[in-house]
Amino acid sequence: MVNGKERTYWEGGETVYAVAYDNPIPGYNTFNTINLRLWRSEPGQEFDFTSFNHGDYFKALEERQRAEYLSSVLYPNDSTPGGKELRLKQ
C-alpha cells in the first residue's frame, strides 16, 4: 500500500522468443497454395553451461523445456491457476 492505494509490481519473468514458421497448404484441384503460420517458442538462453559444469544437468536444460511447454499444448484448461498462467503466456 502506497498512500492508501494498492500497488502491483512485476517481479521476475523469463525471456522467451516467439518464432514463426510457415507451412504451405496446397489447394484442392488448383495450383494455388496458402501459408499456414504456426509459432514455436524458444528460450532466451538455450543451454546453461554454468549449471552443466557444476553437475546439475537437469537445470542446464530447464529454461529450454519451460519455453517448449508454451507451444506444446494449445487451449489448455484454465480452471486452475497453472492453466490460467499458461493461457496468459501463450
pLDDT of 25: 92
Q: Which of 4-8, 32-36, 72-76 has the lowest mean pLDDT?
A: 72-76
Q: Is the model more confident about 2 or about 25?
A: 25
Helix (H, G, I), strand (E, B) or coil at 5: strand
Question: What pLDDT, on a 0 to 100 scale, did the predictor assign at position 41?
Answer: 87
- Please give the pLDDT value at position 35: 92
Quote the pLDDT of residue 23: 93
Whole-prediction pTM: 0.61
Sign of CA pseudo-dihedral 62, 50, 43, 87: positive
pLDDT score of 22 more than 90: yes
What is the per-residue pLDDT across 50-86, written as a single tens digit (0 to 9) for each? 888 888 888 788 888 888 888 877 777 888 888 888 8
